[in-house]
Amino acid sequence: MAVAHAANDYRLGAQAVADGVYVFSGRNEHFTRDNGGNIVNTGFIVGTDAVIVIDTGPSLQYGEQQRKAIAAITRVPVRQVYVTHQHPDHYLGDAAYADASIAALPATISAIQTQGNALADNLYRLVGGWMAGTQSQSPTSTATPGVVEIGGRKLRLIGTAGHTAGDLMVYDEASRTLFAGDLVFHDRAPTTPNADLLQWLNALDQIRQIDFKVLVPGHGAVVRDASAIEQTRDYLQWLSTSLHTAAEQGRDMVEVMNQPLPERFQKLAVHDEEYRRSVSHLYPAIELTTLPRR
Amino acid sequence: MSRARAALLVCALWCAGSLPAHAATAVDTPVDPLNSPSWQYMRQRFLGKDPMVFDARVQVQMPSAAEDQMQVPVHVSAPGLTDVVDVLVFADLNPLPKILRYQPTSAAPDIGFRFKVEQSTPVRAAMRTRDGVWHVGGAWLRASGGGCTAPSVGTGQGFWQDRLGEISARLWPQQPGLERLRLRMIHPMDTGLAAGIPVFHIDRIDMRASDGRLLASLQTYEPVSENPVISVDLQHSGPVRIDAHDIQGNRFAATVTP
């Protein structure tokens, strides 16, 4: 057992991004047996008598190691966990926080209840032994958008949608840090299995209005300006336009997948795979709008 | 790719030596560039003793891994290969390997469609040219399980019962004498492998000119995805009549104007 744990070490090191605000940065990759699913950013905020965790990673072991890494920084106990959305790399470590409140938006909770097991199964297939002991579990409470105060930290919970049906952002007023979840990607192609592009673009408009100093994207390096927002918006706008144009031109799905990406997106990590996956997710509905009923 | 090309070369040599007079040794199947465990059986079942070559001009394009096992997009084409009279598409390791058959009478031998995959498998297109030789190309598809034995989405929702056979389609003129037809039909395309749901699928879609002349004929089998979406390139200008039926004898028809 000890050996297995040593082999599956995520080597989580907390990076301070603001006063009392820390981030664990994942790799800009796909799920592999090498990275164990650590492709995601998670983080925590330290209050006077409570630590608030934002997302718990892809597995029970990640959650446990995250908790240990937090304990190495502060003795203040974790009281509150927020799950930004339903995707398995963001919440499967929840079981490491059985003694804390775990909150998510209602749409996230219902998606986890209906699809959670299938998503966890899929991750087992992709990353293998790192998943040992991991089970999908439903968040214990509903996150209500608005301002909450936990451990003396004033947090604004922002409920939105677009990447999935429920995307929760957490904004720390004192440090002006925004945990944007997967509404913002940075130097990595966005994922779209549950996306509504129009809603997502609207959510990005909303994020632009937020007065943040530090932005923690769901994937990719932390930023202190709007560049990651603009990059995500640029990609999604291009994706939407090019899929609609291809459908209008009568392109078949595979032909659309084979289209080269504009040069500015070729530097995004995993752009090739994610673009093809996005065509699978989004093109069927878009092409139907170009096929009139006879 | 280089392996496939090498194999093609080997088969080309083999065929050059054996055609047409010595085709009796056809059981000496050329080495399968995809190294599939069931290639011998596939060949026997679908091509019989007909002469065949592995031909890199026959392309099966699809993503290398199935994102949605119920809807794997495939585009089959054969740039540079002429006189194709029959196209057969199959997946060696699917429980029901045969996906579709297509006779491009007045059409390019190209076809786009989606299918249900049960596990990782080679997907192949075999194209018979007028001289009787099958030209075979293909690729591996990675998949983790469950496309053929899961019930169709519509079967659970009852949605298809009101709209069975509804046809949506459009023509895109490409150049003089060539137009792309894309069509979508509503049908559950049940494989018969999901518990309690009998086999039920469209089995024929004919495309004709308005004077009744056959442009292309498509036979679809169980693995073709629910609510099939098909793309073909017809050597034709002007309206196309679609005549289709399923294995229970339901007939569906529509006329598409450019």
- Residue ranges covered by each domain of chain B: 2-141, 153-256
Number of other residues whose CB lies within 10 A of the CB of residue A181: 30
The answer as to whether A261 is a domain residue is no
Containing structural domain, residue A165: 2-226
Residue A256 lies in a domain: no
User: How far is B25 from chain A, CA to nearest CA, in Å?
Assistant: 38
Nearest to A277 among B62, B67, B144 (CB): B67
Architecture of domain B153-256: Sandwich (2.60)
Q: What are the pLDDT digits (tens) for B1-39?
A: 344 444 444 444 344 334 443 444 445 668 999 999 999
pLDDT of B218 > 80? The answer is yes
Contacts of B184 in chain A (CB under 8 A): 288, 291
For residue B224, the distance in angstroms to the closest alpha carbon of chain A comes to: 15
Query: At B39, phi and psi to the nearest 5?
Result: -60, -45
Which residues face A159 on adjacent strands? A168
| In a domain? residue A273 | no
Cβ distance A172 to A166 under 8 Å? no
Look at residue B212 in the predicted model and tell me its pLDDT: 95
Query: Using beta carbons and an 8 Å cutoff, which residues of B are at the interface with A?
Result: 61-63, 67-68, 71, 73-75, 112, 114, 144, 166-170, 172, 180, 182-184, 229, 231, 242, 254-256
Q: What is the per-residue pLDDT for B160? A: 75
Across chain A, which has 294 residues, the per-10-residue mean pLDDT values are 62 96 94 92 98 97 97 98 97 97 98 91 90 95 98 98 98 98 97 96 97 98 98 98 98 97 96 95 96 94
**Inside any domain, residue A218:** yes
pLDDT at A56: 98
pLDDT tens digits, B229-240: 999 999 999 999
In sequence order, what are the beta bridge partners of B90? B98, B124
Q: Do domains B2-141 and B153-256 have the same CATH topology?
A: yes
Most distant CA atoms of chain A, gap in Å: 68
Residue A27, domain CATH: 3.60.15.10
Helix (H, G, I), strand (E, B) or coil at A243: helix
- Residues of A within 8 A of B112 (CB-CB) are 252-255
Provide the shortest C-alpha distance from residue A253 to chain B (in Å): 6
Nearest to A175 by CA among A224, A103, A227, A226: A224
Q: Are the Cβ atoms of A255 and B68 closer than 8 angstroms?
A: no
Burial B217-255, CB ≥16 within 10 A → b, else e: bbbbbbbbbbbbbbbbbbebeeebbbbbbbeeeeebebe
Which class does domain B2-141 fall in? Answer: mainly beta
Domain count, chain A: 1
pLDDT in tens, B29-85: 689 999 999 999 999 999 999 999 999 999 999 999 999 999 999 999 999 999 999
Q: Whats the size of chain A, residue-wise?
A: 294
Tell me the chain A residues in contact with residue B63 when contact means C-beta distances shorter than 8 Å.
254, 257, 276, 280
Chain B positions touching A254 (Cβ under 8 A) are: 61-63, 73-75, 112
Out of B112, B168, B256, name the one closest to residue A253 (CB): B112
Asked if A250 lies within 8 A of B114 by C-beta distance, the reply is no
Of A9, A45, A41, the C-alpha closest to A25 is A41
**For residue A119, what are its two tokens?**
């998503």
The Cα B26–Cα A139 span in angstroms is 63
> Distance (Å, rounded) from C-alpha B210 to C-alpha A80?
69
